[in-house]
Amino acid sequence: MQFAYENWWISDMQSFNTGAPAQFDIDCLEDTTVFSISHEDKEDLCRISNKMQYFFRRKAVYNMIALHKRVLMLLSSTASERYEALLKQYPQLHERVSKKLIAGYLGVTRETLSRLSTT
């Protein structure tokens, strides 16, 4: 599970880059403006513009960094540490997203999340 916040890009990168069927859905929990670009159009833009190539490369790098941090957090942090880090990074998240989704994101049960939020 992954959350995308304002001005973030989200995609099934494997599907986008290989043309394979997507392995997950993207659900919008709030009103959202969605922009879409085909892989072919992205590649065409990158071929004709170094600035666009740089832009998409930076987006890919930021995506890899975010994924790296998430995997490290899931592998090496306690549930309490993951919850504290989430609140620090996104203090209003609990006002915008259900506890069920937050628990899923943290890799804990809803009951565990309730215990974490009262400590």
All residue ranges of the chain with pLDDT < 70 are 119
Residue ranges of domains in the chain: 37-118
Q: Which bin fits 11, alpha (ψ -120 to 50), beta or left (φ > 0)?
A: beta
Sequence letter at residue 79:
A
Give the model's pLDDT for residue 13: 86
Report pLDDT digits (tens) over 96-116. 999 999 999 998 999 999 999
DSSP 52-85: HHHHHHHHHHHHHHHHHHHHHHHHHS-HHHHHHH
Give the model's pLDDT for residue 6: 82
